[in-house]
Amino acid sequence: MIFKELKNRLWFNIFIRLAAVFAAFVLVLCLSDVALLIRFFSLKEKKELKEQIYAVSRLDLDDANTVIKALSDINEKYNFDVEIYNTSGRILYTTHGSQMMDYFSLKNDKFVMAHEEMTAVKSEQLSDGIVFETAVRRFDKQEFLLCTKQLDNGLTAEVRVQKQLISNSAAVANEFIAIVSVICFLVSVIWVLLLSRQISKPISEMNETTRDMARLNFKRKLKINRSDEIGQLAASVNELSASLDTALTDLKATNEKLKSDIELERQLDVMRRGFVANVSHELKTPIAIISGYAEGLKLNINAESREEYCNTIIDESRRMNKLVLSILELSRYESGQIPLNIESFDVSQLCDDMISRIFKAKKITAENLIPKGTFISADPLQTEQVLKAYLENAAAHTPENGTVKTECKTENGIIRISVFNSGSHIDEKDMPQIWQSFYRGDTSHKRDSSRFGLGLSIVSAIMKLHGHKCGVYNTEDGVCFWFEADSGEK
């Protein structure tokens, strides 16, 4: 299970492949040493034997000191035994046993040493008179590699080395190379492990980042601390993430706006249908009345009835005219065709005038609690229209002996003017709809010559023109409508 999981890791695959390469290299090196190192050492020794036999052949054998020194150097440097002997086998010079005998002492017959004969196993004759032999010494059966050459005056020079020394040197070299190879392999394994983790780490981070991007999470960013291709790729991933984040944010905003526009269009369509239905309803009755009474006049009714019919036609015509004017006024406010004439005026005085006109003949207690000298900055005529709509609405919904009050409060340079009336509450679900055209809070559409359900729609349009808010809320014993205006205090 763990191995299967590791097989899917980039660093593990890099590590296995590089480690396999190093292992193969070490294995090839060790096998090469075992198979070829002894042969290599033998060829090298043969080359050295050949070079030294040439050096011996160039010596002046009459100069004993020079010969002894040269042979001693060869023995010490190459561990070769050197003998120079005549045709009868008598040794003139030798390095065997560390005994150096010069030519003259042997000539005086003080001591005689004979050349040791060996049994040749293999022989190779070269073109320049050099003979290579593999020979076995008789008394201890040791193998030697011999190199001989005929010198002047019938003398023979022989340079030899024990083959066991070559094998020992090769074995030591093999052991050393094996140990060094194992150590290098272990070090290389650790290095490959660290290198593979270093190479795969940024790629793994990019993989996690792109997975987050696939899940539409663009918060994670890659740390860029290198300038090679991987660093450039990380920078490209960050740029792609930022671009996708921006594009997705814009797309979400566009979708939300589209949803809002669709919902607004749907609401406008509903309002348009309702508006047409309400206008049709408001016009249908007076048109029917006018048509009926006009037909009655054609029947030559008596003078008393004729006057009543004419008055009815005039009243219904005036009512229709008022409705059309109200619709046109609302349309002008909503389209912004009516310019604002902003000035500072006393809203308390305006409230006093409006209350005296609207509640003059009504059995309702109406009072203005706005302090004298409360100035607001707004269009006076349109503010009068707002107050008129609020106060007429209050007069229509306040029971006899009820109360209507106008108040105000100031906060951060904004004055909120409230119109309270006692009576029944407005249903919470109806509050957003009372600002719509022709909405009158009941479904019976009872005829009223002065009210069409357009007053609060006009208020909402006027406040939008001023850039301020308006609203309504229920109190403990009634309803309170309000609107805001800039303070007109200097």
SS3 160: strand
CB distance 84 to 95 below 8 Å: no
SS3 28: helix
DSSP annotation of 299:
T
Output the pTM of the full model. 0.44
Strands 365-368 and 403-411: parallel
List of residues 6+ apart from 34 with CB closer than 8 A: 174
SS3 162: strand
SS3 59: coil
Percentages of the chain per state (helix, strand, coil), in multiples of 5: 55, 20, 25
What number of CA atoms fall less than 13 Å from residue 466's CA on the CB side?
27
Which amino acid makes up residue 332? R
- Digitized pLDDT (tens) for each residue of the chain, 490 residues in all: 565 666 666 667 777 777 788 788 778 877 777 777 777 777 888 888 888 888 888 888 888 888 888 888 888 888 888 888 888 878 888 886 544 444 434 444 444 555 666 788 888 888 778 888 888 887 778 888 888 888 877 888 888 888 887 777 778 877 888 888 888 888 888 888 887 777 777 777 787 888 888 888 878 887 777 777 777 888 888 888 888 888 888 898 999 999 988 988 887 677 667 666 666 666 677 777 778 778 777 777 777 777 788 888 887 787 777 667 766 666 666 666 678 888 999 999 999 998 998 888 888 999 999 999 999 999 888 898 889 889 988 998 899 899 999 999 998 889 999 999 998 898 888 888 787 766 655 544 454 545 556 778 888 888 888 889 999 999 999 999 999 999 987 5
10-171: CATH architecture: 2-Layer Sandwich (3.30)
Instruction: Find out if CATH 3.30.565.10 is the number for domain 338-487.
Output: yes
**Rounded to an integer, what distance in angstroms lies between the CA atom of residue 28 and that of residue 22?**
10
Which amino acid makes up residue 447? R
CB distance 119 to 138 below 8 Å: yes
Give the pLDDT of residue 106: 46
Give the pLDDT of residue 112: 55
Give the pLDDT of residue 111: 47
Domain parsing of the chain, residue ranges: 10-171, 338-487
Give the pLDDT of residue 103: 42
SS3 135: strand
How distant is the alpha carbon of residue 377 from its chain centre?
A: 52
Would you tell me how many other CB atoms lie within 10 Å of the CB of residue 464? 14
SS3 111: coil
**Rounded to an integer, what distance in angstroms lies between the CA atom of residue 263 and that of residue 271?**
12
CB distance 157 to 82 below 8 Å: yes
List of residues 6+ apart from 193 with CB closer than 8 A: 15
List of residues 6+ apart from 437 with CB closer than 8 A: 271, 274, 275, 278, 330, 453, 454, 457
Same fold, 10-171 and 338-487: no
Would you tell me how many other CB atoms lie within 10 Å of the CB of residue 461? 22
**Rounded to an integer, what distance in angstroms lies between the CA atom of residue 94 and that of residue 87?**
15
